[in-house]
Amino acid sequence: MSTERTFSIIKPDATRRNLTGAVTAKLEEAGLRVVASKRIHMSKEQAEGFYGVHRERPFFNDLVSFMISGPVVVQVLEGENAVLKNREVMGATNPANADAGTIRKEFAESIEANSVHGSDSAENAAIEIAFFFKPEEIVG
């Protein structure tokens, strides 16, 4: 067990429905601490760059359009095993498959508009955090 950081996005479907606080409460209840947070409206270039690993997937263009359809809240989360803990509280990508009590089960609208992003590894967390935050913007 070790303290680590992960990266989270509260997606446009959640900000549109005023669920920023409700989603953040779930993260905090899971033992994660918000050590950086900002509300931004991503550019197309930012969204394409952030989701570059999915460029060849059939849903890529729709995903980029969705992610720039409204504001998002980008966050750095800190805690014991933060990457895994965040993935657990997020729930499965498709809300139909998400466990009860997870963010996606409670809030997601669809497999695309699924309310949150979370890093899938410590390595990707570091890359994703650096994509949106300067070191001095993160206050643990």
Least gap, CB of 112 to ligand ADP (angstroms): 4
3-state secondary structure 22-38: HHHHHHHHCCCEEEEEE
Q: Which does 112 bind (CB under 5 to 8 A by kind): ligand ADP, Mg ion, none?
A: ligand ADP
Cα(75)–Cα(33) distance, integer angstroms: 10
State the burial class of residue 81 (Cβ atoms within 10 Å of its Cβ: 0-12, 13-18, 19+).
Answer: middle
Least gap, CB of 107 to ligand ADP (angstroms): 13
Q: Which does 63 bind (CB under 5 to 8 A by kind): Mg ion, ligand ADP, none?
A: ligand ADP
Active site residues: 117
Query: What is the contact surface with ligand ADP in residues (CB under 6 A)?
Result: 54, 59, 63, 93, 111-112, 114, 117, 120
